[in-house]
Amino acid sequence: MNITIIGTGYVGLVSGVCYAEIGNDVICVDKDPYKIDLLNKGKVPIYEPGLKELIATNRLGGRLAFTSNLSNAVRHSDIVIIAVGTPPLPSGEANLSYIDQAAIEIAKAMNGYKIITVKSTVPVGTNERLAKLIKSHTNMAFDSISLPEFLREGSAIQDTLYPDRVVIGAECQKAADTMVQLHKPLTQNIVVTDIRSAEMIKYASNAFLATKISFINEIANICEKVGADVTKVAEGMGYDKRIGSSFLKAGIGYGGSCFPKDTSALIQIAGNVDYEFKLLRSVVEVNQDQRFNVIRKLETIFDGELNGTTIAVWGLSFKPNTDDVRESPALEIIQHLVDNGVRVKTYDPVAMESFQSLFGKEGVIWCEDAMEAAQDADALCLLTEWHEFAKVDLHELQKVLKQPILIDGRNVFNEEQVLGTGFIYYSVGRPNLNQGVKEKVPAL
């Protein structure tokens, strides 16, 4: 099939490459000529394992092209997929101005029937509104499809080529059938439904996963008080098929471009129809507070006096295998430390530059590697579970730190590694492992 994708962000670029990989002819469009230029030179504007290689093979195979000429791309294609950003407005609602603009430009470029598909996450009712907007700018026939995206950064290609399910929201059976054909090589689990339900499936899925994370984080906080181990609790819960084992890792809370944005948007969507989504409000509140457990533990260890200390921070991205730092807990944690007179030394394997572009370069010491960041620090906080941190020998680490204090915000280290070292070690929801100044652990 001939496909045009509008927007070369995470969703657009990865989807485009994967549609090409399964044999379609794909043109990826972006307004930003710099991005298109990079892509045409074989470079990739985002960090995503495997993406660069897949782009190269599919460009070479003649199935994938990049352009900023939207009109030509639309005219060349039967299916046009909108994958532009819907960033949050200050109210929490999604900003739909980019998507509206894309719809109008597609309408003006149309030279015949098209299936116009929205992959961007949009509030319920948006596809219907967009269809009216397109109709007001063209006489050509088209059908609207809602095609919510469920890929995760860091495993985006795997998630796209082997999805758990594909959801297709359609009013027209023929257009739905075409979309089913397109996705059949990827999975048997294809849910065809009405457009509004498809839009809701995306928000409900992300809200549910965010709820699982806040739930296990609260269980972890209780585990610390009652002397239970949250990793064992999660394991014991996860074997129950009704619960499932994924998204039960306690830590410092979720970040990223989706969960924080989509939970706020769903609260707002509910509010717009006079429904207060109390459960989801609490999920957001718990998540916001969870990151400060790291600070609370440090404050207890240093008797409330962080001013003048040197704290090392390992990990800046909101999760491993991505350079994305949007809504990363590290942003607020480091800001709090800097505001309280702490000398912060930090290192991340790939997210240093992206972190600096959001946080600024001032006020923090940026290090070349993990050990350099730890050197002479009074304590170390591990905020992202990058593989290279898990491999560190704690005895070697202990030698470079001024004081062997480790706050493991992601439960990276296990009992075998920690016990027997001289570390004052605090993790999340594992009081049996917390050692060193146990009597000082805050009741969380």
Which residue ranges make up the annotated binding site for NAD(+)? 30, 35, 86, 121, 153, 261, 326
Residue nearest ligand UDX, CB atom distance: 258
Among 31, 75, 152, 296, binds ligand UDX (CB under 6 A): 152
Among 114, 261, 319, 326, binds ligand UDX (CB under 6 A): 319
- For residue 183, CA distances in Å to 9, 81, 163, 164 come to 21, 14, 10, 12
- For the bound state, the minimum distance from the C-beta of residue 258 to ligand UDX, rounded and expressed in Å, comes to 3
- Point out which span in 63-71, 83-91, 132-140, 247-255 binds ligand UDX (CB under 6 A): 247-255
Q: Is 149 in the site for ligand UDX (CB under 6 A)?
A: yes
Q: Is 35 in the site for ligand UDX (CB under 6 A)?
A: no
Contact 297, 331 (CB under 8 A): no
Reference 54, options 102, 96, 13, 91; nearest CA is: 13
Which residue out of 18, 258, 367, 381 is catalytically annotated? 258
Output the known binding site for substrate.
150-153, 202, 247-251, 255, 319
Comparing CB distances to ligand UDX, the nearer of 12 and 436 is 12
Q: Is 251 in the site for ligand UDX (CB under 6 A)?
A: yes
Q: Is 259 in the site for ligand UDX (CB under 6 A)?
A: yes
DSSP 94: B
Active site annotation includes 258 = yes
- For residue 67, CA distances in Å to 27, 39, 92, 219 come to 7, 9, 32, 49
Q: Is 203 in the site for ligand UDX (CB under 6 A)?
A: no
The residue count for binding ligand UDX (CB under 6 A) is 19
- Point out which span in 125-133, 205-213, 392-400, 428-436 binds ligand UDX (CB under 6 A): 205-213
- For the bound state, the minimum distance from the C-beta of residue 404 to ligand UDX, rounded and expressed in Å, comes to 26
Contact 80, 44 (CB under 8 A): no
Q: Is 129 in the site for ligand UDX (CB under 6 A)?
A: no
Helix (H) or strand (E) holding 66: strand 64-67
Among 103, 134, 151, 316, binds ligand UDX (CB under 6 A): 151
Comparing CB distances to ligand UDX, the nearer of 152 and 402 is 152
- For the bound state, the minimum distance from the C-beta of residue 297 to ligand UDX, rounded and expressed in Å, comes to 17
Q: Is 119 in the site for ligand UDX (CB under 6 A)?
A: no
User: What is the per-residue DSSP string for 100-149?
Assistant: HHHHHHHHHH--S-EEEEE-S---TTHHHHHHHHHHTT--S-EEEEE---
171, amino acid identity: E
Neighbours of 239 (CB within 10 A): 9
Q: Is 255 in the site for ligand UDX (CB under 6 A)?
A: yes
Q: Is 213 in the site for ligand UDX (CB under 6 A)?
A: yes
Both tokens assigned to 336: 């709090």
Output the known binding site.
30, 35, 86, 121, 150-153, 202, 247-251, 255, 261, 319, 326
Q: Is 355 in the site for ligand UDX (CB under 6 A)?
A: no
Contact 346, 316 (CB under 8 A): yes
- Point out which span in 41-49, 221-229, 246-254, 373-381 binds ligand UDX (CB under 6 A): 246-254
| Paired strand residues for 114 | 142
Q: Is 409 in the site for ligand UDX (CB under 6 A)?
A: no
Among 3, 18, 124, 258, binds ligand UDX (CB under 6 A): 258
Among 114, 183, 249, 345, binds ligand UDX (CB under 6 A): 249
Q: Is the dihedral of CA 73, 75, 81, 82 positive or negative?
A: positive
> CA–CA separation, 180 vs 188, rounded Å?
10
Q: Which alpha helices (H) appear in 275-369, and where do they start and end?
A: 278-290, 292-301, 329-339, 352-359
Both tokens assigned to 317: 């991205």
231, amino acid identity: T
Reference 322, options 249, 403, 255, 376; nearest CA is: 255
> CA–CA separation, 287 vs 370, rounded Å?
27
Both tokens assigned to 287: 């998540």
Strands 142-146 and 166-170: antiparallel
Q: Is 318 in the site for ligand UDX (CB under 6 A)?
A: yes
Q: Is 314 in the site for ligand UDX (CB under 6 A)?
A: no
Catalytic residues: 258
Residues that bind ligand UDX (CB under 6 A): 149-153, 206, 209, 213, 247-249, 251, 254-256, 258-259, 318-319
